Amino acid sequence: MTRIVDVARRAGVSTATVSRVLNGKSVRPELVAAVRAAVDELDYVPDRTARSLRRRSSDVVALVLPDVENPFFTAVARGVEDVAQEAGFSVVLCNTDDDPAKEARYLAVAEHENMAGVVIAAASASPALAGLLARRRAVVAVDRAVPDAVDQVTFDNVALGRRAAGLLVERGFRRIACVTGPRATTTAVDRATGWRLALDDAGLVPSDDLLVHANFRVDGGYAATSELLARPTAPDAVLATNNLVGVGALRAVADRHLDLAASGAAGGTSVGVGIVGDLPFATSRTDDVALVPLSPRGLGTTAARMLLERLDGLDVAPRRVVQDGAAPPGGTSAGLHL
Amino acid sequence: MTRIVDVARRAGVSTATVSRVLNGKSVRPELVAAVRAAVDELDYVPDRTARSLRRRSSDVVALVLPDVENPFFTAVARGVEDVAQEAGFSVVLCNTDDDPAKEARYLAVAEHENMAGVVIAAASASPALAGLLARRRAVVAVDRAVPDAVDQVTFDNVALGRRAAGLLVERGFRRIACVTGPRATTTAVDRATGWRLALDDAGLVPSDDLLVHANFRVDGGYAATSELLARPTAPDAVLATNNLVGVGALRAVADRHLDLAASGAAGGTSVGVGIVGDLPFATSRTDDVALVPLSPRGLGTTAARMLLERLDGLDVAPRRVVQDGAAPPGGTSAGLHL
DNA sequence: CCGTTAGCAGTAATCGATTACACATGGACG
DNA sequence: CGTCCATGTGTAATCGATTACTGCTAACGG
């Protein structure tokens, strides 16, 4: 394998000079040329392991996600990757399966691999960030808030839930159930709170038995919706607070041979569905679904930009960005609302 | 940060002994105990960067995928991760976007980060593996065959296409179109070949204008299917050769307000759909879809197991495993058919 | 009883790049 | 004309763990 000394010898300079050329420090032009030539001839690429050992930081950022099979999170990943890639960082994706232990393990790896930074959608209410923070590594929490003093990018989940439920109200539904995620997941709880507020706004009763906590996956949404629809006094609409639960809800409706109701005026063989999130792989028309689209990719790009700013040495108090569901702001500094 | 010398001092031994204890080489029991105690007291975790520099290999494996937003590949990722994790490796996911340049970049990173091995679903017909192979790194190709002499795990794509088209034939469809991926993608071409064979088997004519090459994504399937259905003499069924194209096809059918036909007996307002692959996020009933389910996760576990065997020093000729669409074989040695 | 060998532990070299420090050169300026 | 400073280059230390090599001890055989 070609090492830096090989290049140095070939170019007739010291390894220090080679390193300086490669890292853009000022070096006499003819030496730069000689080094460049030697690098080309030898096909030299620096060993990143050695580099990170010395620099005490690699150019890899970890993206720690609860579920890489959820299109929401893969979209976040795309966003992070686009920005990081652009800046010369590689992104490694770590799947925690919503398991705090797996999460802790990955965070430890990120720490001891000397990764440049971490973007995390936390599985646990309080992820094990202590080690990383002690080493002053850049950390950005995305989608789910964490108690630590780190940059955070989230949606306004209460507003999202409220908006989605509001859409159903506008369409004339009166008995609107809500299927949300586990009580321990803040996004799930907040969106349910939004649902409650929307019903209050409309003078409807957000009765407790219309709120179901399921898991945040397809099977959870399916089971919860099936149960709701099987009740003697079934709801006339169901609000799913995330994409997968929404998929489950739609499938439950289809399996019961019910129609999707566009409005509350329809009869008893149809039911309305609202979803906070997107349906990238829907196999049916979704015109009649009250969708509140999100921009997980935007969440990812914003988080990545914040991370890069930290890596650039930005040293201000942790920032908290609340993104709307709409397309993300472009522009400099991630369009951060500080 | 605690280093190995700190532990050594605390335990009253040399760094070599600490290293040996941590790596399970034989050391006198009382020293083992002393080292263990020191490690615990100091919360010592070895720096993986230094370790990989010295060992010339890290315990990270790269998983290079064309599209992390495709549920097929995320399922592969899950499979790889499950197995690798179990064996103490971390998996980093690299998204190539089906772009050979991005792919080459990631492969170079894997090489120069001294990653233990690479599992790749190739974007290009001939991915840039030369560097990795020169360094004798373990490489396993998954889903898509590559020309290089490396282990490969694929499906029997001709058989899959044939089976799926066969299902449609059995159900009585006569004019079966095929929407497949780009000509450069072997899986796309092979499954289309299977379609052709099934039609031949049945004495039907696999007319060339019933075969459409689209991209392998939802929009490709949607556009191609829409076009087919708009023809004066539309097909009575469409075979989609992967999951995303299948989603697109179903949506095209729904958008044209056509019904899904369970059999060829139905009238002109319905059309049959066959899909090679799964629909994890279907929002409708899929009973009437002729599905040939795959086991991408099994593909991933098999690939990972093969990789681990290579990392364990297995030094035999490259193996070629062709998996059926069915559930993957469990058992030792990845149930490899050598 | 001595030589051989096996087993264990310590010292120091090593992995490959970055960078602190020392030094050389040349120009500016008093 | 000498001093100072800026700029550029080389030497060698450094990052932290692993491991080749060396040497010690003890057991065992002849």
pLDDT over 90 at A92, yes or no: no
Rounded mean pLDDT, B52-79? 94
Q: For the segment A46-74, what is each residue's pLDDT rounded down to a tens digit?
A: 999 999 999 999 989 999 999 999 999 99
Q: Which residues share a beta bridge with B273?
A: B238, B289
CA atoms within 13 A on the CB side of B244: 18
Suggest the residue from A53, A102, A258, A281 to mutate for an interface test with chain B (most B CBs closer than 10 A).
A281
Task: Give the model's pLDDT for residue B325.
Answer: 62
Place of tokens 């509140």: A292
The sheet that has B90-95: what strands, in order across it?
A: B90-95, B60-65, B117-120, B138-142, B151-155, B320-323
Of A75, A135, A255, the CB nearest to B69: A75
pLDDT value of position A328: 43
Question: Is B60–A113 a contact, with Cβ atoms under 8 angstroms apart?
Answer: yes
Q: What are A272-300's pLDDT values in tens digits?
A: 999 999 999 999 999 999 999 999 999 99
Q: For the residues of A151-166, what is the DSSP string, one character each? A: EEEEE-HHHHHHHHHH
User: Do B56-149+296-335 and B157-292 share a fold?
Assistant: yes
Q: Are the beta carbons of B292 and B170 closer than 8 angstroms?
A: no
Q: Do A68 and B53 touch (CB under 8 A)?
A: no
Query: Which of B96, B251, B283, B285 has the most A C-beta neighbours within 10 Å, making it the best mutation to test the interface with A?
Result: B283
CB-based contact A218 B106, cutoff 8 Å: no
pLDDT above 50 for B331? no
B286–A283 C-beta distance less than 8 A: yes
| A296, A323 contact by CB (below 8 A) | no
| pLDDT > 90 fraction of chain A, expressed in percent and rounded | 84
Percentage of residues in chain B having pLDDT higher than 70: 95
Question: A275: burial class by Cβ within 10 Å (0-12, 13-18, 19+)?
Answer: buried
- Residue A42 pLDDT more than 90? yes
Find residues whose C-beta atom lies within 7 angstroms of strand C. Answer: A 1, 3-5, 15-16, 18-20, 22-23, 44, 46-47, 50-51, 53-55; B 12-17, 20, 26-28, 31, 50, 53-54, 56
To the nearest 10°, report the CA torsion of B258, B259, B261, B262: 160
Contact at 8 Å (CB) between B76 and B65? yes
Nucleotide whose C1' lies closest to the alpha carbon of residue B8: C10
Q: What is the structure's pLDDT at B78?
A: 94
Of residues B49, B77, B285, nearest to A68 (C-beta): B77
Which residues of chain A from 72 to 91 reach within 8 Å of chain B, CB to CB? 74-75, 77-78, 81, 90-91
- CATH assignment, A4-46: 1.10.260.40
pLDDT recorded at residue B111 = 92
Work out whether the CA dihedral B261, B265, B268, B271 comes out positive or negative: positive
The CATH architecture to which B157-292 belongs is: 3-Layer(aba) Sandwich (3.40)
What pLDDT score does B326 carry?
52
Q: What are phi and psi of B179, to 5 degrees?
A: -110, 115
User: Measured in angstroms, what separates residue A142's CA from nucleotide C20's C1'?
Assistant: 39
Chain A contacts in chain B segment 220-259 (CB below 8 A) = 244, 247, 250-251, 254-255
Q: Is the CB of A69 less than 8 angstroms away from the CB of B69?
A: no
**Least CA distance to B105: which residue of chain A?**
A90
Q: pLDDT tens, B198-237? A: 999 999 988 999 999 999 999 999 999 999 999 999 999 9
Find the Å distance, CA of residue B157 to C1' of nucleotide D20.
51
pLDDT attached to residue A84: 93
Q: What average pLDDT does the segment A226-248 reach?
A: 96
**What residues does each domain of chain B span?**
4-46, 56-149+296-335, 157-292
The verdict on a CB contact (< 8 Å) between A251 and B282 is yes
Asked which of A314-328, B16-30, B136-150 is least confident by mean pLDDT, the reply is A314-328
**pLDDT tier at B327, thresholds 50, 70, 90:** very low
pLDDT band at residue B328 using 50, 70 and 90 as cut-offs: very low
Residues whose CB falls within 8 Å of the CB of residue B28, separated by 6 or more in sequence, listed in order:
none
Place A314 in a pLDDT band, splitting at 50, 70 and 90.
confident
pLDDT of amino acid A246: 98
Q: With an 8 Å Cβ cutoff, are A283 and B280 in contact? A: no
Question: Would the Cβ of A14 be found within 7 angstroms of any atom in strand D?
Answer: yes
- Give me the mean pLDDT over the B302-317 stretch: 92
Among 3.40.50.620, 3.40.50.2300, 3.40.640.10, 3.40.50.150, name the CATH number for the domain at B56-149+296-335: 3.40.50.2300
Q: How far apart are CA B212 and CA A140, in angstroms?
A: 45
